[in-house]
Amino acid sequence: MNSVVRLRTRNRSTSARRANGNGRAIELGALKGYLGYALRRAQIFAFADFIAALAELELSPGEFGVLTVIDANPGLRQSEVCRALGIQKTNFCAVVNEFGRRRIVLRRGVDHDKRSYALHLTPAGEALLRRARAKQTEHEARLVARLGEQGREQLLKLLGKLMETGAQP
């Protein structure tokens, strides 16, 4: 089963007017000034490109994040990965099960807690992550080409300010 989620989006300009199917321009009104709307549209654009980049590896952006965190923190518990990435535990079990089926993540019992599992990348998981990182580097280069390196740094700094307080407003 392919676990990659496909987004159906169209690449459109960021102008305030959008054309409908009849070619008539549609005014976005106040939406063009809302941060949340701009963030969501930018996320759709970035995810569509990233999803396409990872498609041949059968990884979603979220799964790439999970593998990256496990690689950086071998032995991290499933609940800790969920907390770090803001993933609900019920959704995460299916991801880990699929990773186990694909033999890219190994679950090991935790000595002092029989209900918890520590996660480790297998050699196949490490190889997959290397390939995915190469694809991510290409994706990042496409984004930087649109923003410029200075724009990238500025955007990361601004987004960091929004994330400073955590996932909750």
Annotated domain spans of the chain: 33-144+151-160
Q: Model-level pTM? A: 0.79
Q: What is the pLDDT of residues 52-80, one digit of tens each?
A: 999 999 999 999 999 999 999 999 999 99
Tell me how many helices (H) and strands (E) the chain has: 5, 5
Region 33-144+151-160: CATH code: 1.10.10.10
- The yes-or-no verdict on residue 1 having pLDDT over 90 is no
pLDDT computed for residue 10 by the predictor: 43
- DSSP labels for 52-78? HHHGGGT--HHHHHHHHHHHHSTTEEH
Which secondary-structure segment (H or E) carries 35? Answer: helix 35-54
pLDDT computed for residue 50 by the predictor: 97
